[in-house]
Amino acid sequence: MHIPDGFVSAPVAAAGYVVAGIVLAIAVRQANRKFQERLVPLMGVMAAFIFAAQMMNFPVAGGTSGHMLGAALATILVGPWAAIIVMACVVGVQALMFQDGGLAALGTNLVNMAVVGVLVSYAVYRVAGALVGDNRRLKYVAAFCASWLSIEAAALACSFELATSGTSPLHVVLPAMAGVHALIGIGEGLITVAALAFITATRSDLLPTRREAGLETQ
């Protein structure tokens, strides 16, 4: 999922920085407007957890491996705007300190993982959560679906960026990325559900209310 330097063209890299910068600015503004003091330590814990979780790879198929993205879990626990900030911090630190993803490609990596991953998971979880109400088991199903689709959406965005850059034809990169990440998404969904089940059992006060999660109108 992390795009290294040299894989995206200059126009695509620049567009990624512009889009990521605009969305991150909006996220910071919205997070300040809807500031909740209890979210500050939770955001820090989420960033640390996602950073550590992304360090652990699991085998997928054909010698490939995947790791947790964490966008859906962050979105469910702290909301979309705070989740974008959390994911941006994780992706940024990975690029700047651990060379996981290139600096030139940092904008596109932010778009894929911090923007697309978060917004898709929020949209899916909000719609599904509104349908299932307070049914805990169905909420886990909604969380799994949001996690899986966030992985697929980020992979598809990455595919179009690589194809637009001329790195690989779309008919080659799209099936490859979609297929591998369909399997990675299953692991993502299972980890997300397991984390939510653990938090529900031990610290249910950390879970957002339906209004905080955006499942009810103000």
Mean pLDDT is lowest, of 58-67, 97-106, 139-148, for: 58-67
pLDDT tens digits, 124-169? 999 988 888 778 889 999 999 999 999 999 999 999 999 999 988 9
pLDDT category at 55 given cuts 50, 70, 90 is confident
Token pair recorded at residue 184: 């990675």
Could you tell me the two tokens for 189?
A: 């969904």
Inside any domain, residue 147: yes
Residue 144: in which H helix or E strand, if any? helix 136-164
**Residue 139 forms part of a structural domain:** yes
Is position 120 within any domain?
yes
**For residue 212, is it within any domain?**
no
Res. 41 pLDDT band, cuts 50 70 90: confident
* Chain centroid to CA 146: 10
- Global pTM value: 0.88
Residue 191 has pLDDT above 50, yes or no: yes
Q: CATH number of the domain that 44 lies in?
A: 1.10.1760.20
Nearest to 114 by CA among 193, 19, 31, 197: 19
Q: Could you tell me if residue 5 is inside a domain?
A: no
**Mean confidence (pLDDT) of the chain:** 86
Domain, as residue range, for 87:
10-206
218 occurs within a structural domain: no
Q: Which of 112, 111, 121, 154 is nearest to 22 (CA)?
A: 111
Helices 80-98 and 71-78, packing angle to 10 deg: 140
Burial class (CB in 10 A: 0-12, 13-18, 19+), 211: exposed
Report how far residue 185's alpha carbon sits from residue 178's, in angstroms, rounded to the nearest whole number.
10
Instruction: Evaluate whether residue 110 is within a structural domain.
Output: yes
Is residue 109 one of the residues assigned to a domain? yes
- The answer to whether the beta carbons of residues 11 and 19 sit under 8 Å apart is no
Q: How many CA atoms lie within 13 A of 42 on its CB side?
A: 21
What average pLDDT does the segment 67-86 reach?
Answer: 91
Total domains in the fold of the chain? 1
